[in-house]
Amino acid sequence: MLTFLITIVKLLVILCIVATIHEFGHFLAAKAFKIGVNEFSIGYGPKIFQKKYKETVYSLRWIPLGGYVMIEGEGEESESENSFEKKHPLKRIIVLSMGVIFNFILGFIVLMSVSAFVPVYTTEITELSDSSPLIEAGITVGDKITKINSKDVTFASDLVISNYDGPETVEIEYLHLNEKRYVVASNVVKKIGYMGVAFISKDETVVNSVAMGSAAESAGIKAKDRILSINGNALNNSTDIISVVQSSAGISLNFEIERDGKVENLVVIPNEQSRFDLGVLNTKEEKSNIYYSLKKALNTIKTVIDSYVQLFQGKVGINDVSSIVGIGVVVSKTSGILEYLNMLALISLAVGAANILPFVPLDGGKIVFVLYEWISRRKPSEKFEIIVTYIGWGLLLMLTVVVTFKDVMNIF
């Protein structure tokens, strides 16, 4: 019970910070353009504290699920000269965008701060596998890879790409004794097994989630199952499981699992997946600095944005989307202040990226309406705006219900 309460508090703190920062961005931009702000509130519901300064009421409320800013004339009729609707379209777009920008700023600053305390694994090679394609290309231990197909690489994680659909031959730029060299490496794509599960940690064999349509789902594996053995061989951690699965594409594997105190046997046939892999086993570890922290933060932002792009392209399914319940489960597993801050940054970036999507009633959808008015020199009809907004809220509600149900079922 205590663990549950701590998780709720940790989640509420993150949600409140992220939402308040978002609304604070709108607030500052509105104030800068002399747009009336009727109220700025932290939290919802009944008031704990309220203070009016000039024309704005500042309040603290009991329900800590974020906050809001009430801007004069936004979404309502107003005759005031300081009304949102009477300002130039560019100013309105900036006000609408500033919440997203502040979410990105928060995420960026937190990631920069966290990265400063976490060691970095660079692309300077300290160990290669015997089958590494780099050996044939002439690259050795001590060399540092700087570019792959003209794209800069900075971290060891840049040397491995899952679900790879690029060429099997790549051009590599690297440093050998500080001398820049170029080689072409072949056979950089490996076919590996993939069953579509995520584990609660590297040290556990308990399944956290199962991807929709995956080999694991077809076999009957569910969240909270504990994998005991594969083909009779006991396994100590998720790394061991992943290693067996990756070497068994298309091969039947006998899984022994524990579910609700009972032992069951399931047959899993891992799907085949292409992975870009240069066979680098280990790279040099260095202390982080401003450059590395900056690169990590930018890479994380790019990953968050790419995930939304893949969602709309159909490459990411509903099973890969999390509700507040799913986020709470992830937050509950954070250990230590650095992991917690990292989660805060990721959620802030995700909220920012989601809000800029051109979908009413999100900020991005509102910006589309303002752009239309600016270009056509006439506002969309009030009826049209209302209909589109209701449809948008309906779709968001449906998505929320479906994803929340999925996350709840994964728990139970």
List Cβ neighbours of 374 (8 Å cut-off, separation of 6 or more): 89, 90
Q: 204-255: per-residue pLDDT in tens?
A: 899 887 876 788 988 999 888 999 999 999 988 888 899 899 889 999 999 9
Tokens found for residue 182 = 């170029």
CATH number for 120-191+275-286 (one of 2.30.42.10, 2.40.50.140, 1.10.3720.10, 3.60.40.10): it is 2.30.42.10
d(CA 358, CA 364): 4
pLDDT score, position 406: 61
Burial grade of 21 (CB within 10 A; 0-12, 13-18, 19 or more): buried
Q: Could you give the 3-state DSSP secondary structure of residue 289?
A: coil
Distances, alpha carbon 386 to alpha carbons 33, 361, 369, 382, in Å: 27, 10, 12, 6
- Domains 120-191+275-286 and 196-269 equal at CATH topology level: yes
Nearest to 338 by CA among 21, 156, 110, 105: 110
Is 252 within 8 Å of 269 (Cβ atoms)? yes
pLDDT band of 88, cuts 50, 70, 90: very high
CA angle 134, 140, 145 (to 5 degrees): 70
Phi, psi of 72 (to 5 degrees): -55, 120
Quote the pTM value.
0.75
Question: How many CB atoms sit inside 10 A of residue 268's CB?
Answer: 26
CATH architecture for segment(s) 196-269: Roll (2.30)
**Domain definitions of the chain by residue range:** 2-116+344-411, 120-191+275-286, 196-269
Q: 157-183: per-residue pLDDT in tens?
A: 898 887 788 888 999 999 999 999 999
pLDDT band of 6, cuts 50, 70, 90: confident
